[in-house]
Structure 1
Amino acid sequence: MGERRPYPGRRPDGDERPSRRADGRPSRRTDERPARSDERPARRAESSVAPATHRTGAPQRIAKLLARAGVGSRRDIERMIEEGRIAVSGTVLTSPALNLTSLAAVTVDGNPVAVTSATRLYRFYKPTGCLTTARDPKGRATIYDLLPKDLPRLVTIGRLDMNTEGLLLLTNDGELKRAMELPANALVRRYRVRVFGNVNARSLEALAEGVTIEGVRYGSINADIEHKSGAYAWLVINITEGKNREVRKVMEHIGLQVARLIRVGYGPFELEDLPVRGVEQVPDDLVSRLRSRLPAK
């Protein structure tokens, strides 16, 4: 078993016992160790399973159909088309400007696309030391090396950099991914961050007005001091944009060095008592409720 770290949502008074789920039900989870480098799982998009029956209907853009099938977000799929990885009836696509009624003749990396029957959403405690990507040219460990092999093809909702740990949401529905990532939907990402340096309350309060760093504008950030001890402090930070390495860049901008960064919440979902590398499926009714509130734009 991997090392069990203290629950990252602990209170400053030292009580590290996590709160239970609101409905009182025990969590179903797995706690897998990474596979050896010679046992890396195949990319989820490269399914060798024959496609299930494809429903037909009104023509839709191929990117939207593939996103609904869990291949990736629309942006991911457009990039895959540019790379020549998607074909229809054996003809490699060069443009996403194509409407289809089904995915029956579509292949990704030469493999048929299996239809996903229902949207699934999972909570995963990403540890440090692995990448949030399907594959890495340098052969470094990715989250897919840690996930149980019996899970369906999944894409991540947002990313966490290699040295950031905590809640990572995964889904088989690219449209849900897109809706949850859209800044317009303003889903709050919650972090606990341990910093080193002179924590200035006024500097933290000023982040509520947003900040521009090297020409990049970061929107309103809510930052509070949770606990302070000597030169170190734990902060609680809420953001809604989730730009690349946003928390780390903003902390550095105000003179603080990040020692540990943990995402503890994303929208209505919390890390709770999920162990490091643990995976838990979100109940279907919660997913349906979320989708009804998040129309893709």
Structure 2
Amino acid sequence: MNNAEPQNNPEGERLQKVMAAAGVASRRVCEDLIAAGRVQVNGVRVEGAGRRVLPTDLVSVDGKAIQLDTTKVYIMLNKPTGIVSSLRDNRGRPDLSRYTNEFEERLFNVGRLDVDTSGLLLLTNDGELAHVLAHPSFGVLKTYIAKVEGVMNQHTVNKLVGGIELEDGLIEADKARIIGTPSANETVVEVTLHSGRNRVVRRMLDAVGHPVIDLVRRQFGPLHLGSLAPDAMRDLTKAEVGELLTISRGGNVAPATGDEVPDENPSDD
């Protein structure tokens, strides 16, 4: 790591002022963080007062990224079933515009969920972050809770983790476990994987003889659905945004070519 003082941007604003505006802490506390050597700009520790930055500079505190651009919006949605993961549906079905229209900013979805799948979906106007998180090669972890037909055993769980040959190639769950058996012919299973293939969770479970009855995405990377009610939205916390930015800045993918993730992306459940 290069410990030399990063190049100053004379056209920018003072670092502590920008950090305070971004909600890190009060300006005085931000000054103390800088003086303690806990702040980095573009990967280089800042050790003195007077540093100026631009909105394009990458700032982190204790290794966790912060968003300087206060125009960026990050929304968690608990998408209910029956909603198409598109900003406009050419078949006239209910889509995400009913949520994004509530905001002045032009928001779009990061990845997709099948119309029959509910759960966590991220809406944002941060095209760079969305591009990295949705990029197939980046492989952000996603956790689903599935109610399936039949009583699943540990041998079948091991098959999910060990690998299943689907029509588009071998697929392995990163983790899988049985949560419960709500009836004599149903099982609830948790599946975590990083694949972005189309309807992959449903196809995996169908391939091992347990078709999906109900499917919910509970986690997307560091984001957890928690107690957010179906059809409800909330702003991400500063900590959640920082975790996403920290992950996305480590993503080694080609730059985004536009502001929006294309609507034709396949659903990734």
Where do residues 13-52 of structure 1 align in structure 2 (5 Å cutoff)? Answer: none
Amino acid at match of 1:293: I
In structure 2, which of residues 198, 202, 211 is the aligned counterpart of residue 244 of structure 1?
A: 198
Structure 2 partner of 1:284: 238
Amino acid at match of 1:272: G
Tell whether 2:134 aligns with 1:189.
no
In structure 1, which of residues 229, 238, 261 is the aligned counterpart of residue 215 of structure 2?
A: 261
Tell whether 2:173 aligns with 1:220.
yes
**Percent identical:** 28
After superposition, the C-alpha distances for 1:132-171 in whole angstroms (9 at most, x for unaligned) are 0011111111022244523521111111000000111111
Amino acid at match of 2:238: D
Q: How far apart are 1:242 and its partner, in Å?
A: 2.6
Aligned-partner SS, 2:130: helix
Aligned-partner SS, 1:122: strand
Q: Distance in 1 between matches of 2:104 and 2:151?
A: 45
Q: Distance in 2 between matches of 1:168 and 1:162?
A: 12
Tell whether 2:115 aligns with 1:175.
no
Q: Distance in 1 between matches of 2:222 and 2:184?
A: 34
Structure 2 partner of 1:136: 89
1:198/1:255 contact within 8 Å kept = no
After superposition, the C-alpha distances for 1:202-240 in whole angstroms (9 at most, x for unaligned) are 122122122221133323342211001310111111011
| Number of residue pairs matched by the alignment | 185
Structure 1 residue runs without a partner (length 5+) = 1-54, 58-115
Deviating beyond 6 angstroms after TM superposition, the runs of 4 or more aligned structure 1 residues are: none
Amino acid at match of 1:273: S
Where do residues 157-176 of structure 1 align in structure 2 (5 Å cutoff)? Answer: 157-176=110-129
In structure 1, which of residues 230, 243, 261 is the aligned counterpart of residue 184 of structure 2?
A: 230
Q: Normalising by the residue count of structure 1, what TM-score does the alignment of the two structures yield?
A: 0.57
2:223/2:240 contact within 8 Å kept = no
Structure 2 partner of 1:127: 80
Q: Normalising by the residue count of structure 2, what TM-score does the alignment of the two structures yield?
A: 0.63
Structure 2 residue runs without a partner (length 5+) = 1-53, 57-68, 254-269
2:139/2:196 contact within 8 Å kept = no
Q: Distance in 1 between matches of 2:238 and 2:124?
A: 12
Q: How far apart are 1:285 and its partner, in Å?
A: 4.3
